Chains A and B, each alone.
Chain A
């Protein structure tokens, strides 16, 4: 039971990791009319399939599995594979928040991860995988935590942007749960390189916008 309780703690939306301040393109997409209340679940599913399953899942698994120099190399690899500069910068910024949480919680991270952060390569998904590993989760649980966090993060941003209500959000999240579970159950082979495809949110991320509430 203890691993389950630990996973629930680390998946809690109240766990401090800075993610509440990122919409990953959703804010611009809503403002531009590319997504609305009715198409929002589709947006979240597309993010899960195109961004999370194609890229984040593999980046996280590499951070979960690697140690030492291999972990440092994985941070650098993910940095090179980031297709969008705005995404790259936000990923590092989110990662720095998780590093700060780890320092404050006195959770010892691999020196190679700390060196990557100092070099400006501390991408969130990689350090998240490493953080979940040193916190005692197995890879399947770590992937489930990560996938659920992405879906909930999208919906939560939509709630704060007034696009959906908190009750409707839970209804939509429950409807997506089987898809989230299936995507998270797909454990990647070691060394598989990420290859995401989420053009709509990538473009939304790059759109300049005055009066932005979220970091991206």
Chain B
């Protein structure tokens, strides 16, 4: 195993796939050889969306189905994802990074340390500014918390500075980054964080 394996989890609609789409361009510009595994619950929609985006050759985007349990395939029994990652590494020697996108799940979702070296959890302001206060394991234990769609805060009645401060407080100082993935805002900071914490390059 040579490529860093990074999990990306979070609730449905928080922007996990959008974050990956935005990151792929940045990673490519920085010469980081990347592949993606998606874990859609019912379809291959996320994988197809990434393939259609054209930022990676289609075969570098692999879909794993989750058998009705999105958390099981990343935590209790991650072997299907491990096999997919092993296969990617065998097919593409020299890969630097494999991004594993979880199916949308609740705030208790976490990644197995057997599967990933690092994982981030994506929430969005439209999900409500009380999410950090709920302190789910995804919020508290992830290596990096990403709060997406921060541009929507005024439109959904969210006091973003307060939400950010609460997120930082419940995480005890662990990193929190804000993004607007649709516009690419904050994505360079996410990639820089990965380079520093995981890729060491």
**A-to-B contact residues, CB < 8 Å:** 14, 16-18, 20-23, 93, 96-101, 103-104, 118, 157, 160-161, 210-215
Contacts and interface: CB of A to CB of B under 8 A. Distances in A.
A18 B83 contact: yes
B42 A99 contact: no
A14 B87 contact: no
Interface in B86-100: 86-87, 90
A16 B77 contact: yes
A104 B67 contact: no
A215 B86 contact: no
A100 B86 contact: yes
Contact of A20 (B72, B86, B114): B72
Given A20-B72, A21-B73, A213 B67 contact: yes
Nearest to A216: B65
A13 B98 CA distance: 28
Contacts of A23: 67
B188 interface: no
Nearest to B87: A96
Contact of A18 (B42, B43, B79): B79
Contact of A101 (B67, B69, B73, B82): B82
A101 B65 contact: no
Contacts of A17: 77, 79
Contacts of B114: 104
Interface of B: 41-43, 65-69, 72-73, 76-80, 82-83, 86-87, 90, 114
Contact of A103 (B41, B66, B73, B86): B86
B65 A212 contact: yes
A23 B65 CA distance: 12
Contacts of A103: 82, 86
A161 B68 contact: yes
14 contacts: A16-B79, A18-B77, A20-B69, A20-B77, A21-B73, A96-B83, A96-B86, A97-B83, A99-B83, A100-B82, A101-B82, A103-B82, A213-B66, A213-B67
A97 B68 contact: no
B83 A100 contact: yes
Contacts of A157: 67-68
Interface core residue of B76, B80, B82 (most chain A CB under 10 Å): B80
Given A97-B80, A100-B86, 12 more contacts: A14-B77, A20-B67, A21-B72, A21-B80, A97-B82, A99-B83, A157-B67, A212-B65, A213-B42, A213-B67, A214-B65, A214-B68
A44 to B, nearest CB: 17
A214 B73 CA distance: 12
Contacts of A100: 79-80, 82-83, 86
Nearest 9 Cβ contacts at the A-B interface: A21-B67, A97-B79, A100-B83, A100-B82, A96-B83, A213-B68, A16-B77, A160-B68, A18-B80
